[in-house]
Amino acid sequence: MDARANNAPRPLGLLAELTHRCPLGCPYCSNPLALEARADELDTATWARVFREAAALGALQVHLSGGEPGARRDLVDITQAAHDAGLYTNLITSAVGITPEAFAKLSDAGLDHVQISIQDSEPGSADHIAGYKGAYARKAALAAQVTRLGIPLTVNAVMHRANIDHVEGMVALALKLGAKRVEIAHVQYYGWALKNRARLMPTREQVERAVKAVETLRLRHHGEIVIDAVVPDYYARFPKACVGGWGRRSLNVTPSGRVLPCHAAESIPALTFWNVREHSLADIWDNSPAFMAFRGTGWMQEPCRSCPKREEDFGGCRCQAFALTGDARATDPVCHLSPRHALVAELAEMREDAAYDYRR
């Protein structure tokens, strides 16, 4: 019998931010501006407990992420623990800092899938965006080892003004590296990316070209590689169903054990997050104030409240609503029905060609 108190939905995926440490300095990093320190990171045994609790709660997949997860010396044990808990393990890595020896051990520990981020199709530009000389070559080397071991590989290509014209090159590179899937992931403007927004924002013409390029490439490479892409936020008419709905499908555990409905949720100052050191994951999922805050549709204001799409996009992204309007309960201004929609177009026009503020 289910002893849990309410009928909260069950999460499918857990994003485990094992550390905020990372050798790269990408100016659109999704980590918060205030990075958590190594001394505060959860230990191996606590992560193992979190994985068991996540599986009992219904989670099927764990995304081992960061920062750079390879910065954790116990990454093999952590991966093994996730595997032993019955979770599908996906390593999200920059590839820098994972040696061939370490990767062989990860493979033996039962790693199911690998996602490698690539900053651009051309090495010089890629290393410049990553803020790390030689990163591109290391990514290619790890990708080769991943596919040699038969592990499915996804290439994650984060797109912005400096590389959005290289969509075709990125897909060609993903194919060359043996990836079965490539994510054309337009920058989302939170944290470091928000700080660098004017330096990263593509033009409307660039976005239109990129959308067309993706359509052509999907036809050309049908059956060879899956190309996932969405229209970037600031050029969309409808908002994304952020994290599939707040507290509905996924949860995120930070390096120090704070549990968030999405990786950017700490940018909303009014929210209170519970920690896995003090609460079980089920208790946090069901009862913590942060998860209750925007679950379902009861919190909505107009125009969301009476919108026929309210159960599809859940009003868009709460963090974006807060970042752009100061009200986390507002309609995501990306939505053309938002009274603040014009602001998004204004912000997209603000572009500046200055040096990046690298994540450090």
Binding residues for other proteins, rule: CB under 8 A, are 10, 12, 55-58, 60-61, 86, 88, 90, 112-113, 149-152, 154, 180-181, 228
Smallest distance, Å, CB 43 to other proteins? 26
207 with 231: CB under 8 angstroms?
Answer: yes
The nearest distance, CB 187 to other proteins, in angstroms, is: 20
Smaller CB separation from other proteins, 56 or 345 = 56
Q: Which residue has tokens 């045994």?
A: 45
CB of 89 to other proteins, least distance (A): 9
Distance, CA of 28 to chain centre: 11
Q: Residue 114 CB, nearest distance to other proteins (Å)?
A: 9
In terms of CB distance, is 268 or 284 closer to other proteins?
284
Task: Report CA dihedral (191, 173, 353, 322) to the nearest 10 degrees.
Answer: -20
Of the pair 117, 320, the CB lying nearest other proteins is at 117
Minimum Å gap between C-beta 61 and other proteins is 7
Closer residue to other proteins in complex, CB, 35/171: 171
Q: How far apart are CA 303 and CA 239, in angstroms?
A: 13
DSSP 63: E
Inter-CA distances, 295 with 30, 165, 200, 309, 318, Å: 22, 38, 31, 15, 11
Distance from C-alpha of 180 to C-alpha of 93, rounded to nearest angstrom: 16
- Which of 279/341 has CB closer to other proteins? 279
**Helix ranges, 274-333 (H):** 281-287, 289-293, 310-313, 318-325
